[in-house]
Amino acid sequence: MSDTMTPPQLQALPEGFVLNLTDNAAVEVRKFLAAEDIPQETAGLRVSVLPGGCSGFKYSLNIEDKPVDDDMVAELNSVRIFVDAFSAQYLSGVTIDYVTSMQGSGFTFVNPNATGGCGCGSSFTA
């Protein structure tokens, strides 16, 4: 029996799947990653879609120390991205940006597949 662990079998994002992370968003994510006490060589940003929100689904962004076994992983603008299979069906074509305005700053999502949404900008219908 070997003392080394076999790394999880990570999947690439499916052919034709496009997820965009703007330069502004990548800069902010890298700041969050640098501030966390996690292994930089495996850490990344989990982008997911969860049931809920005022329109049916909501976006979620989390810094995680490593992907889970069945995650799809990509590197966008020098940021490792983790996406689960459920979320992937709703995220193809989405652009994640980071905007600053007089009302505040934060991540925004532009989803060409959304059939509806609400005023908060974080909830959508597909």
8 A C-beta contact, residue 25 and residue 96: yes
Q: How many domains does the chain have?
A: 1
Phi, psi of 9 (to 5 degrees): -80, 100
Q: Is residue 6 part of a domain?
A: no
Q: What is the pLDDT of residue 5?
A: 39
Give yes or no for residue 120 having a pLDDT over 80: no
Whole-number pLDDT of residue 36: 87
Q: How many CB atoms are closer than 10 A to CB 20?
A: 13
Q: Which residue has the higher pLDDT, 125 or 16?
A: 16
Residue 54 lies in a domain: yes
In a domain, 44, yes or no: yes
**Nearest of 5, 87, 9, 6 to residue 45 by alpha carbon:** 87
29 is a domain residue? yes
DSSP helix/strand/coil, 119: coil
Q: Which domain holds residue 57?
A: 20-125
Which residues, 6 or more positions from 51, have their beta carbon under 8 angstroms from its beta carbon?
Answer: 57, 58
pLDDT of residue 103: 81
Residue 10 lies in a domain: no
Q: What's the mean per-residue pLDDT of the chain? A: 81
Q: Is 85 among the domain residues? A: yes
Please report whether residue 106 resides in a domain: yes
Q: Which CATH number is 104's domain given?
A: 2.60.300.12
pLDDT score recorded for residue 10 = 45
> How does pLDDT run across 57-101, given as a tens digit for each residue?
888 999 999 999 889 999 999 999 999 999 998 898 899 999 998
